[in-house]
């Protein structure tokens, strides 16, 4: 089945994609205490994994040998999951100091950069989050768990080395960010080998389509934080960035079939509200 025909067929499917991209998988076997503290402080909102419905759809597609559709689901999960996290994370990264000053008053040293590096790492993890579920649907996860888990575990010795050599404490998170980036590449490579993922299609539908919304959001936050200075500025940054990001997602981040799914989802929500 050609990719074009596959897209046409998939437009008739249910609007499940939006509700299925609300998770970031907690992969860190290292720095567990710091991660746990971060999640507890946010009330668990950072733990954004794949929903049961989405996982059932992917396993079902794989079970009937519809691997193209299963991979399509994974791409949707990765992209929309990235969007859902980025719409909050990007303004938070720019305004982290202001947010912490408002929240904690007396902010410990390095707290802001700790939080910023964690958010960047989460964004990197999220943009390939769908591939993890795709591999789980195939049932061939031994190689993936060994390779990707091993890469993430390498954070621990590198972080220890940084601290031993006298580097600033935030280099612990720099090392995690480094290995998360490497793990992201290996997720794509392993999925290509095991599930026959088309890397060019994945890059086009996920990375390229995420570029312009990300760029516009970054530009909006940069302009606001460098030109406006007043109390509670982070509220303005968050709102304007979210509006710009949402508009740019619709015009630059989605293919027509994905726009159709979004419109179906919003119509469903509106109908339920009206009832």
The number of folded domains in the chain is: 1
DSSP letters spanning 150-179: HHHHTHHHHHHHHHHTT--TTHHHHHHHHH
Is 9 part of a structural domain of the chain? no
Is 1 part of a structural domain of the chain? no
| pLDDT category of residue 65 using cuts at 50, 70 and 90 | low
Is 264 part of a structural domain of the chain? yes
User: Which tens digit of pLDDT belongs to each residue from 181-220?
Assistant: 999 999 999 999 998 999 999 999 999 999 999 999 999 9
Average pLDDT, the chain: 80
Domain coverage including residue 170: 14-274
% of the chain exceeding 90 in pLDDT? 56
Rounded Cα–Cα distance for residues 85 and 58 (Å)? 22
Is 5 part of a structural domain of the chain? no
Orientation angle between helical segments 129-138 and 67-94, nearest 10 degrees = 150
User: Which tens digit of pLDDT belongs to each residue from 124-139?
Assistant: 999 998 998 888 888 8
Rounded Cα–Cα distance for residues 121 and 103 (Å)? 23
Please list the residues that pair with 50 across neighbouring strands: 21
If you average pLDDT over residues 231-239, what whole number do you get?
A: 95
Rounded Cα–Cα distance for residues 8 and 256 (Å)? 10
Please determine, for residue 101, whether its predicted confidence score (pLDDT) is greater than 80.
Answer: yes
If you average pLDDT over residues 15-38, what whole number do you get?
A: 36
Higher pLDDT, 76 or 43: 76
Rounded Cα–Cα distance for residues 94 and 89 (Å)? 9
Is 7 part of a structural domain of the chain? no
Is 57 part of a structural domain of the chain? yes
pLDDT of the residue at 257: 84
Entry pTM: 0.74
Is 2 part of a structural domain of the chain? no
Rounded Cα–Cα distance for residues 191 and 134 (Å)? 8
Is 222 part of a structural domain of the chain? yes
């Amino acid at each position: 089945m050609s990719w074009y025909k596959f897209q046409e067929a998939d437009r008739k499917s249910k609007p499940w994609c939006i509700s299925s991209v609300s998770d970031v998988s907690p992969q860190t076997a290292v720095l567990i205490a710091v991660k746990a503290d971060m999640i507890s402080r946010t009330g668990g909102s950072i733990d954004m994994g794949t929903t049961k419905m989405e996982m059932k759809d992917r396993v079902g597609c794989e079970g009937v040998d519809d691997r193209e559709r299963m991979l399509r689901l994974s791409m949707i999960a990765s992209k929309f999951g990235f969007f859902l996290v980025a719409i909050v994370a990007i303004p938070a990264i720019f305004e982290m100091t202001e947010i912490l000053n408002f929240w904690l008053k007396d902010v410990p040293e390095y707290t802001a950069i700790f939080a910023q590096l964690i958010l960047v790492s989460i964004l990197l993890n999220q943009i390939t989050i769908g591939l993890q579920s795709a591999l789980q649907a195939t049932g061939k996860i031994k190689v993936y768990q060994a390779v990707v888990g091993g890469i993430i575990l390498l954070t621990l010795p590198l972080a220890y080395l940084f601290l031993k050599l006298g580097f600033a404490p935030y280099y612990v998170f720099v090392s995690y960010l480094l290995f998360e980036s490497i793990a992201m590449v290996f997720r794509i490579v392993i999925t290509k080998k095991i599930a026959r993922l088309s890397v060019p299609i994945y890059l086009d539908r996920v990375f390229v389509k995420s570029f312009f919304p990300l760029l516009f959001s970054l530009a909006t936050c940069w302009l606001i934080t460098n030109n406006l200075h007043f109390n509670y500025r982070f509220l303005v940054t968050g709102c304007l960035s979210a509006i710009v990001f949402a508009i740019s997602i619709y015009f630059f981040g989605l293919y027509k079939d994905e726009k159709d799914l979004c419109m179906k989802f919003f119509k469903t929500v509106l109908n339920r509200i009206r009832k």
